[in-house]
Structure 1
Amino acid sequence: MNETRRAVLAAIADEAVSGPALATRLGVSRAAVWKHIEALREAGFSIESGGDGYRLVEIPDYGGPAIAFGLDAPFDVEYHDSLPSTNARARDLATEGETDVAVVADEQTGGRGRLDRAWHSPPGGIWLSALCRPDVPPAHAPTMTLAAAVAVTETAREHGVDAGIKWPNDVLVGEEKLAGILTEMEGEADRVAWVVVGIGINVHEEGLPDGATGLCAHTEEIDRRAFVQTLLERFDELGTDPEEVLAAWRDHALTLGRRVRVETSTGDVVGTAREIEFPGTLVVTTDDGPVRVHAGDCEHLRPA
């Protein structure tokens, strides 16, 4: 959001402020104040104007300016009613040199998950991709996937949804999938050039595939604007510190202590998931001893 418009909203959020007072406070002309007010109205903000001046009455339910207003995280928000893929758009922005952008869409028409699987992304869901350029070596990049899973889980819990994390990157309610995360990056041997963390969260139940669930199945109402703001803020707070991210991930893990089957490129690993190690490696105790799994599809099994 334009910084002057952000300042206008902040000024009129709690009380009416006159045009001349706004102009003086912001160091712009009265005509510029009027143009910013009209632009905010066009973006969906309800702003009254009376004898005391301008006053913010209502914030839009969703959209870029709505998410940006009050967001306490260093992301610009680029919003689209519809996109083929928020990750693809974020990659394009990365090649243009952008950073710290959250690409948000009301729907995706070509959403993809891990292993290029299709991801159902109907209108009304939460589909976003965060582009950033962390000053870390490539080996640390997987911790950003873990951080995103923690951020989704904690935000869901704040909204009354009892979510947890299944290794490596799924957020579940019970055994039903609520959200998935897809991280893409580009870098050199010693540094990351950019990272895109894509997050897809089901909100409504209609049309979901078997084994999936939505936020609204577990709570009466979801404010998508507040949900996305909290999610981005928590993701930013976690950052890329491996110890902090891994500790938070363990706190919300559904996989640790469970019997699992992990499908890997070299075969299945079956046993009990005991630990997660940097940068996201799952340690599974098998009949032949501990096995460290760096990537794979994990299935929770019934106790033997």
Structure 2
Amino acid sequence: MNETRYRILDAIAEEPVSGPELAASLGVSRTAVWKHIEALREAGFSIESDGGYRLTGVPEYGGPAIELGLDAPFTVEYHDSLPSTNARARELAEAGETDRVVVANEQTGGRGRLDREWASPPGGIWCSVLCRPALPPAHVPVLTLAAAVAAVETAREAGVDAGIKWPNDVLVPTEDGEEKLVGILTEMEGEADRVSWVVVGIGVNVRSEGLPAGGTGLLAHTDDLDRRAFVQRLLERFDALRGEPETVLSMWREHALTLGKRVRIETPGGEVVGEAVDVEFPGSLVVETDEGTRRVHAGDCEHLRPV
């Protein structure tokens, strides 16, 4: 959001402020103040103008609403509908942007790992974070773990008892097993010794309707959900974690559902079956198998019932 509009919203949040007072404090003309006020109204902010301008309502969702009060250095781009927030974030990356977040009310062509379809109905939380981390390419997986930690902590703050399945699926345990709440897809471009850009796509199911079998939404586990506040907290938590990669693993372990479980992992080199005992930087899963210890860097993980 435009910095001047931020300052206007801050100034009129508590009490009415006249146009001339705003113009003087901001160092702009009264006409410029009026144009900014109109732009804010068009963005969904309710602003009264009786005896001065006063903020009376904030839009429920959208880019300016998410940015207002966001304690993280992201610019938010909002769309009612997009084929893919990751695809749009890649376009912004190619244009040289950074610290941009693309949010959509729905995705019409959402994809997960291995190009699997990801259902993204209206009313969900579909967002992609574009950043340019000072990490070597081999360390980028830690950002995927950071996103999973951010998502599970935000879900728990919203009252949903969630945990992480390696490496980055956020699940809700049930009597019959586990249901998927959040999916994360990380993409990057770089060279052997440096990262050019990273896009971390985070999809959070809100409603359970329209999801494939095994999926669940936030509203199946809590009656009180503010999407705007959820996205803000998710972005703030991810921003904090991306700056502390050395602490991500300990927090991931704290929220892990996988550790201590018998697992089957489909990897490019074949199947790995055994007990998951640890995770190592930047995100490898340590598995004790009948043939010895294996470290798995990537693959599809399945939790197995105890033998």
Using structure 2 for the length normalisation, give the TM-score.
0.97
Partner of 1:168: 167
What letter corresponds to residue 80 of structure 1 in structure 2? Answer: H
Asked if structure 2 preserves the Cα contact closer than 8 Å seen for 1:140 and 1:240, the reply is no
How far the C-alpha of 1:39 sits from its partner, in A, is 0.7
Kindly provide the amino acid, as one letter, of the partner of residue 20 in structure 1. P
Q: Which residue of 1 aligns with 2:200?
A: 197
CA displacement at 1:216 relative to structure 2: 0.3
1:236 to 227, 235, 239: 239
Shift of 1:221: 2.4
CA distance in 2, matches of 1:112, 1:138: 22
- Residue 282 (structure 1) aligned with residue 285 (structure 2): yes
* Corresponding residue of 2:130: 131
Q: CA deviation at 1:11?
A: 1.1
User: Which residue does 1:7 correspond to in 2?
Assistant: 7
Q: Which residue of 1 aligns with 2:273?
A: 270
Q: What's the CA shift string for 1:238-290, capped at 9, x where partnerless?
A: 11533211111111111011111111112211111000001100000111111
User: How high is the TM-score relative to the length of structure 1?
Assistant: 0.98
- Distance in 2 (alpha carbons) for counterparts of 1:241 and 1:12: 36
Measured in 1, the distance between the counterparts of 2:49 and 2:59 equals 18
Q: Which amino acid aligns with 1:215?
A: L
Aligned mates of 1:283, 1:62 — CA distance in 2: 41
Q: Is the 8 A contact 1:126 1:200 kept in 2?
A: yes
Letter of the structure 2 residue corresponding to residue 247 of structure 1: S
**Matches for 1:89-100 after TM superposition, within 5 Å:** 89-100=88-99
1:88 pairs with 2:87? yes
Report the AA paired with residue 198 of structure 2. Answer: V
CA contact (8 A) 1:49 1:55 kept: yes
SS of match in other structure, 2:53: strand
SS in 2 for 1:246: helix
- The runs of at least 4 consecutive aligned structure 1 residues that moved more than 6 Å come to none
Q: Residue 215 of structure 1: CA displacement?
A: 0.3
Aligned to 1:250, which of 247, 250, 253?
A: 253
Contact 1:104 1:127 in 2 (8 A): yes
Residue 292 (structure 1) aligns with: 295
State the AA in 1 paired with 2:41: R
Aligned twin of 1:23:
23
Q: Using the alignment, how far apart are the partners of 2:31 and 2:118 within structure 1?
A: 47
1:78 aligned onto 2:77: yes
Q: 1:147: which partner in 2?
A: 146
CA contact (8 A) 1:143 1:240 kept: no
In the alignment, which residue of structure 2 is the partner of 1:103? 102
Instruction: Give the alignment partner of residue 182 of structure 2, picking from 168, 176, 179.
Output: 179
Note the residue ranges of structure 2 that are not aligned, 5 or more in a row: none
Q: Secondary structure at the match of 1:38?
A: helix
* Letter of the 2:233 counterpart: T
CA distance in structure 2 between the aligned counterparts of 1:275 and 1:38, rounded to whole angstroms: 55
Question: Separation in 2 of the partners of 1:209 and 1:255?
Answer: 22
Query: Does the alignment pair 1:212 with 2:211?
Result: no
Identity of aligned residues (%): 76
Which 10-residue stretch deviates more, 102-111 or 22-31? 22-31
Question: 1:185·1:196 contact (CA, 8 Å) conserved in 2?
Answer: yes
Q: Distance in 2 between matches of 1:180 and 1:240?
A: 22
Give the AA of the match of 2:257. Answer: L
Instruction: Tell me the distance in 2 between the aligned counterparts of 1:285 and 1:14.
Output: 59
RMSD: 0.9
CA distance in 1, matches of 2:152, 2:44: 30
Which consecutive unaligned segments of at least 5 residues does structure 1 have?
Answer: none
Paired with 1:152 and 1:233, the residues of 2 have a C-alpha distance of 11
Distance 1:157 1:22 in 2: 41
Q: 1:89-120 CA deviation, whole Å, 9 max, x = no partner?
A: 00011001011100000000000000000000
CA distance in 1, matches of 2:119, 2:243: 29
Q: Distance in 2 between matches of 1:211 and 1:147?
A: 24
Distance (whole Å) between structure 2 residues aligned to residue 273 and residue 115 of structure 1: 23
Separation (CA, whole Å) in 2 of partners of 1:255 and 1:137: 27
Q: For 1:155, give the aligned amino acid.
A: T
Give the CA deviation at 1:293: 0.5
Query: What amino acid maps onto 2:22 in structure 1?
Result: L
C-alpha separation between the residues in 1 aligned to 2:65 and 2:106? Answer: 17
